[in-house]
Structure 1
């Protein structure tokens, strides 16, 4: 029988190389049935082996079907179970019944459910946000903003740390191949000081580590190789992120960790990304590896949940499903009016995305009443809450023409009054 399986696997690998596997399916996936043909066969076994060997990348429902032990990874244990199933030695996969359904709100570090309602703070000092230089003045402004936010019912705040990796972390040189050597003096102290004050005002910060902006060609420095150079990434994790996580990984003023902002703008078109043609472009496999490696690292040192900010719902199951199986604790996509005719959470239930964790809207257009929605933020919140989405954060408190402050009014306060169990 082993010879038969080996022969079937060899034949299936040849067939698999010639035929693209579906990255998602219209119907609910079945464990072991990677190609969605209703059977668990040598073709499915070959697909899993190809993924493990890095020859093909399974995503979406194909990934979920291959993860037969339902631990969020495709590994040798899954391959072994599928072999046992094909041989008839087992009739059930160990992951059956273990898939985690989406929940309303995200699970925070104390095990409670939180529905993030708030805004993006983006940045005031691009890449220099927490430098010691002029900190007294900057922190006075930050505290004033946090004071004002608390009166608007804002309970969650998405804030970028190293937008382009330029000057926040320190590097051994300006170009690719340089290693991260640490952080500027008192950088961590100032982040903690900010979290302390935010928490005193009832606000939790959702820290965004970096953005697609790290790959821009117009930067005087270039460190986007954290995405595809494991040595550079490890230096960044060890010398920049570890001190931050050690200081803030259990802080009650931290909502969670956002690994990268809108990576789809720097993913290859053939991998279903949408390159913005402003810098380097990466294969999906490299970005997935970067996100998973970073997610795993954060989980070593921090108890708060981990995600990243997808540029649109279409990449989180509405059209493509690129981000399953990375160990994330929740999903996050961004919504602007250009997408409303095609990807609208008001009319699209979260369950239809077939995600295995809760999903929030981490960036939202500031003025919904004047948009094609013609709805207040309270009306949108009511609609997406009923549709199963787990959070809502506006762009942005401090972005000039895209300033959301005039449009918040009492929308968040009124919504929170109706959902005191999760908005906090």
Structure 2
């Protein structure tokens, strides 16, 4: 940022009212909570926050009766809601990373998301009538950090399928836990979904930072016997859009039976993944932290080459512990390690 390496230190706010925060005038009823969190993050030295937006299309974007997207919301307040929030965050030295969609849970409005994953015509209607207008409206806001296309698409991926393209062969996901929300989509379908949206964002705003939130290192590295399905070639093979490549990787990590796996970020230096782009540890917590407290986790991420750490989450973890984690590294400014924590805005 402004020519200097920045470490993204922050949290997942995720939501105040799940899928009912932005658009249709809803933000005015959530604003007090969102702004309080921003102020307390600033006091604790945090600099970035991940917030969920459409989720499965419950209230945004606006769909017609055939599943095509006609706009961002029914009442036309979506842009002003988002701008108000992002501008407030920027004024307090916090970068917002909106997460557009969620595949970790299947709920009543999943048919909206389903149409966009399966139909390129419906996906294009979202891109033309919602995504591009949103990016145009917000791209020059100093408080916009970047975009996260979807949270944990592996939750709905089909595993165990053979494919002649290694990018789409899902046998490596078998018995991994993938598909916990329903085995509905191939790797290729979800990668196309991501590729088209990333391409649209980056063509509209060439400086945009864009990622997708993987549930585990299993699908974001070719090391450890895993498969990086989010690499440039896999995304382009799936969707054909040449600019539809991530600018940084996101990985989530939680322990299992009280221990982190051998592939987990908090037991590895970032170089262990062999990736050619920065990687943010975009979800982790203390409750499932392999015995590590949040200050230890933030410190570890900063000092082992990662580009950021966002704890999960404001509503699902001890808030004082999360503030303590951010405070641990708030004055860090090592240019050869994590970089600046206080933004050079």
Q: Is TM more than 0.5 here?
A: yes
Partner secondary structure for residue 308 of structure 1: strand
Tell me the matched-pair count: 306
Partner secondary structure for residue 206 of structure 1: strand
Once the two structures are superposed, residues 119-170 of structure 1 have per-residue CA deviations (whole angstroms, 9 ceiling, x without a partner) of 0011112222113435433223322222222222221100011111222111
What is residue 295 of structure 2 aligned with on the other side?
378
Partner secondary structure for residue 150 of structure 2: strand
Deviates more, 1:321-330 or 1:407-416: 407-416
2:248 aligns with one of 282, 306, 330:
330
1:266 aligns with one of 156, 171, 174:
156
**Contact 1:258 1:307 (C-alpha < 8 Å) held by counterparts:** yes
**Contact 1:257 1:307 (C-alpha < 8 Å) held by counterparts:** yes
What is residue 213 of structure 2 aligned with on the other side?
309
What is residue 193 of structure 2 aligned with on the other side?
290
Structure 2: unaligned runs, 5 residues or longer: 161-169, 236-244
Structure 1: unaligned runs, 5 residues or longer: 1-107
TM superposition shift of 1:118: 0.3
Aligned positions of 1:194-233 closer than 5 A:
194-213=85-104, 216=106, 218-219=108-109, 221-233=111-123
**Contact 1:345 1:387 (C-alpha < 8 Å) held by counterparts:** no
Q: Go from structure 1 to structure 2 and tell me whether the alpha carbon gap of 1:367 and 1:280 turns closer, same or farther (over 3 Å shift).
A: closer
TM superposition shift of 1:367: 4.1
Give, in whole Å, the separation in 2 of the partners of 1:379 and 1:135. Answer: 34
Give, in whole Å, the separation in 1 of the partners of 2:110 and 2:103. Answer: 16
Partner secondary structure for residue 35 of structure 2: helix
Give, in whole Å, the separation in 2 of the partners of 1:142 and 1:386. Answer: 30
Give, in whole Å, the separation in 2 of the partners of 1:278 and 1:417. Answer: 40
TM-score by length of 2: 0.82
Once the two structures are superposed, residues 71-122 of structure 1 have per-residue CA deviations (whole angstroms, 9 ceiling, x without a partner) of xxxxxxxxxxxxxxxxxxxxxxxxxxxxxxxxxxxxx5x5543211000011
Greater radius of gyration (CA):
1
Relative contact order (C-alpha < 8 Å, sep 6+): which is higher?
2
Give, in whole Å, the separation in 2 of the partners of 1:134 and 1:235. Answer: 24
What is residue 282 of structure 2 aligned with on the other side?
362
**Contact 2:132 2:204 (C-alpha < 8 Å) held by counterparts:** yes
Aligned positions of 1:89-100 closer than 5 A:
none
Give, in whole Å, the separation in 1 of the partners of 2:114 and 2:69. Answer: 12
What is residue 30 of structure 2 aligned with on the other side?
138
Q: Go from structure 1 to structure 2 and tell me whether the alpha carbon gap of 1:308 and 1:134 turns closer, same or farther (over 3 Å shift).
A: closer
Give yes or no for the alignment of 1:410 onto 2:324. Answer: yes
TM superposition shift of 1:231: 0.5
Q: Go from structure 1 to structure 2 and tell me whether the alpha carbon gap of 1:186 and 1:119 turns closer, same or farther (over 3 Å shift).
A: same
Q: Go from structure 1 to structure 2 and tell me whether the alpha carbon gap of 1:265 and 1:203 turns closer, same or farther (over 3 Å shift).
A: same
